[in-house]
Structure 1
Amino acid sequence: MKIVIAGAGDVGFHLARLLTNEDQDITIIDVDADRLNYAAQHLDVATVKGSSTSFETLEKANISKAHLLIAVTAAEDTNLLTASIGKQLGAKRTIARISNSEFLQNRDKFDLRNLGIDELISPELLATKEVKRLLKEAAITDTFEFERGLLSLIGITIDEEADHLSNKTLRETAYLNPNYDFLTVAILRNNETIIPRGDTRFETGDHVYYIAKPEGVSRVLKLTGKQKDKKIRSIMILGGSRVGFYAARSLSSKYNVILIEKDKDKCFELADLLPNTLVINGDGRDVELLQEEGIDNIDAFIAVTGDSETNIISSLVAKNHGVDKTIALVENIDYIHLSQNMGVDTLINKKLIAANFIFRYIRKGQVLSLTSLHGVDAEVLEFVVNEGAPITRAPLSELDIPKTAIIGGIIRKGKSYVPKGSFTFKPYDRVVVLSRPECIHKVEFFFK
């Protein structure tokens, strides 16, 4: 597939990195020569210097042959115009990154496809959805549900309370899972992603990811010493950014929400727009202010100011005051891999979330759903088994599944399974796989 990406910033670069693992024909357009040189040195991509709204530039990128044009520059108007022009010049499908959510909220009033724009994405709204997903359970740092919870992906830190797991192998702890209702699918340790096998040993401080049936989620929480009944009721949001505003608007119907913003004029504006949210004018770096506003009684703290360091430090302060769940927005993608070492439950990056969303959209014809884990160098995919697919030809233990991938669970006719080696796949099964990016195309072979 030929794909043209307009914008070599964080979103464009990360997206190109994901796609080069798929042997796609990628061309990146940008006005910044340094960004293009960096991309060319680190990725197997072609580059074109110039404005993506220029006919000449788009023609140099061979836009008429493009199966997909993705406009993800920093400027919303540039992205919309690029997608529109690209469509007119022959691009089969177009995606444009926007910051104004009104385009998405008023899709019923106008059809942007008439302008040549097939899909819109808003990193801010996607980040808000990610925050909502992460707030489902206080003890879990990552969670993703398949088929309304028939299978769940959960991430949990192994601490001193899980001493029966620490320094033991998966094989040695198998007796703790007598009904085989969960499976360990990944371990994040010192920024290294481990796809575990029977002889892999748990260590204190590991961040462990499981695929679990509904009853398996409760068992995992019990084994790791977490509280299943600990629910989030009160939330403090630091920063009245777009993400902060969208999060408060979305969450205030279910939770008690306090939003802190240091700009006084912005506070008055937010207070009018958020009638169900307590908006406070103040500096979130002020520990005394946080204490006065009840940080000790807050269940979740979400820091989404425009300053990454402020978000991280204030989240650490919240954690020190006993807040169960902390989420910090960071601009530097490199910080994501440090989240578990920093002490913040989850670091999120809206550009990375946007890139992963686009990647899922690109693969939509082959994969039912796709998600990524914060800081983990792996993707979680949900495949549907086609009739005659290679995966149906032998039991799991006899299939040559890559070592850097693991099948975590199956949904069949409304029932979930965690597979053993003897499991045999059938057409129309929905299969959840965790895979390193470089071997996704090998995994796909089994489902074709």
Structure 2
Amino acid sequence: MKIIIAGAGDVGFHLAKLLAHEGQDIVLIDRDPYRLKQASSSLDVGIIKGNSTSYSILEEADVSTADLLIAVTSSEETNLATCIIGKHLGAKKTVSRIQNVEYLLSKEKLDLKDLGIDEIISPESLAAKEIKRLLKEVAITDTFDFDEGRLSLVGVHIDETSALNGKTLIEMAHLNPSQNFITVAILRDNQTIIPHGDNRFAVGDHAYFIAQPDGVESVLKLSGKKKQDIKNVMILGGSKVGFHAAKSLSRKFNVKLIESDKEKCFELADQLKNVMVINGDGRDVELLEEESISEMDAFIAVTGNSETNIISCLVAKNHNVKKTISLVENIDYIHLSQNIGVDTMINKKLIAANFIFRYIREGDIISLTSIHGVDAEVLEFIVKAGSKITEREIKNLEFPKGAIIGGVVRNGVGYTTMGNFQFRPKDRAVVLCRPGCIKTVEEFFK
């Protein structure tokens, strides 16, 4: 597949990194020679310096043969224009990054496809959706449902009280006789482990499991966690992410939003009828205490300053807030969350890149999700008749070591999968694998 990416910033670079693992024909266009040099030195991609709205630049990129043109520069106008021009020059599909979410709300009325824009994405809107997903359960650091919850991915922190502490996966199996969950990844000291029988859990690990509906309770029990509901949420920052998160969460929770800009507070108060908007500096501990931070179940920091977000989340943790989420600009910060005490760090550009990657893989992979800080993707496939995955039991498949099959949904029921399991056509398989293994794993499902 030939893919042209306009914009070599964080979104474009991460997307190119995901796709380069698969040997796709990728061309990056950017005005900044330093970004292009950085990309070409670490990725197997072509580079072109210039403006992606330029006819000559798009011709140089051979846009007429492109299967996909993705415009993810920092300029909304450039992205929209790039897609429109590229489509008229022959690009088969186009994806544009936008900032104005009115385009999302009105994309049918605007007939964007007629203009030449097949898909639009808003990193801010996607980040707000991610925050809502992360707030499903306090005790779980990350969660994702497959096939309406018939199987779930759950992540938990291993501490001294956990029954899993010091146990190998084989020993853990004796603690889980019903086999209603399976370990698929361990994050330790910023390193991702795809675990096997003799791997041992340790204090400080973030462990990730694929679980049947009743298996989620088993994971919580063995990890020493208690199921807790979220009622009260505090959001720091009236950014676009903060606004969308507050609007979405206020339908279910009691939400307070703190914003330092007085004029913006009035605007937010007008737009968010069910949210208490407070004008103040979120770095002021006294203010947070006056606004009852210790009574909050979740604290979400989404100001434009990563350090402010991280520090305020640590303050919230110090006041016994159960769940903290920090928005960070630097992707490298995400791996620090397990070490410094913030439950989850998110990066809107990384979320956007992963969303586009799912769009690209539509057809082969029916869903894809990333685990924050983990160097692996979670994929969902529908098993085809005659595919390699159906030929033998899992233990005899020679499945790549960088991947692990976590479960299956068969006839509307979710199951975890052990070595003696054999897939059938129409099964929905859930697989966790490193980015470099995705293409190899796909071969088993073709």
- The TM-score normalised by the length of structure 2 is 0.99
Shift of 1:197: 0.3
C-alpha distance in 2 between matches for 1:24 and 1:291: 52
User: In the alignment, what sits opposite 1:225?
Assistant: 224
1:332-353 Cα offsets, whole Å, 9 max, x none, are 0000111111110000000000
Shift of 1:407: 0.1
Matched, 1:101 2:92: no
User: In the alignment, what sits opposite 1:39?
Assistant: 39
C-alpha distance in 1 between matches for 2:57 and 2:211: 49
Which of 348, 351, 372 matches 1:350?
Answer: 348
What SS is found at the alignment partner of 1:236?
strand
Paired positions, count: 446
1:307-363 Cα offsets, whole Å, 9 max, x none, are 000000000000110000000000000001111111100000000000000000000
Give % identity: 66
User: In the alignment, what sits opposite 2:118?
Assistant: 118
1:209-234 Cα offsets, whole Å, 9 max, x none, are 00000000001101111111x10000
User: In the alignment, what sits opposite 2:91?
Assistant: 91
What SS is found at the alignment partner of 1:124?
helix
1:187-222 Cα offsets, whole Å, 9 max, x none, are 000000000000001100000000000000001101
Matched, 1:390 2:375: no
User: In the alignment, what sits opposite 1:67?
Assistant: 67
> What stretches of structure 1 of length at least 5 have no aligned partner?
none
Shift of 1:107: 2.0
Matched, 1:140 2:130: no
Shift of 1:108: 3.0
C-alpha distance in 1 between matches for 2:417 and 2:267: 53
What SS is found at the alignment partner of 1:140?
coil
Shift of 1:95: 0.1
1:134-164 Cα offsets, whole Å, 9 max, x none, are 00000011000001110000000001110x3
What SS is found at the alignment partner of 2:108?
coil
What SS is found at the alignment partner of 2:148?
coil
User: In the alignment, what sits opposite 1:170?
Assistant: 169
C-alpha distance in 1 between matches for 2:191 and 2:231: 34
C-alpha distance in 2 between matches for 1:27 and 1:383: 28
C-alpha distance in 2 between matches for 1:160 and 1:166: 7
User: In the alignment, what sits opposite 1:286?
Assistant: 284
State the one-letter code of the partner of 1:194: I
State the one-letter code of the partner of 1:22: E
Shift of 1:420: 1.3
What SS is found at the alignment partner of 1:28?
strand
Correspondences of 1:6-25 after superposition (within 5 Å): 6-25=6-25
What SS is found at the alignment partner of 2:40?
helix
User: In the alignment, what sits opposite 1:305?
Assistant: 303
User: In the alignment, what sits opposite 2:421?
Assistant: 423
Correspondences of 1:188-267 after superposition (within 5 Å): 188-228=187-227, 230-267=228-265
Coordinate RMSD, CA, aligned: 0.6
Matched, 1:4 2:9: no
User: In the alignment, what sits opposite 2:408?
Assistant: 410
C-alpha distance in 1 between matches for 2:418 and 2:246: 43
C-alpha distance in 1 between matches for 2:381 and 2:251: 34
User: In the alignment, what sits opposite 2:324?
Assistant: 326
> What stretches of structure 2 of length at least 5 have no aligned partner?
none
Matched, 1:360 2:373: no
Matched, 1:55 2:55: yes
User: In the alignment, what sits opposite 1:442?
Assistant: 440
1:405-429 Cα offsets, whole Å, 9 max, x none, are 0000000110111111111100010
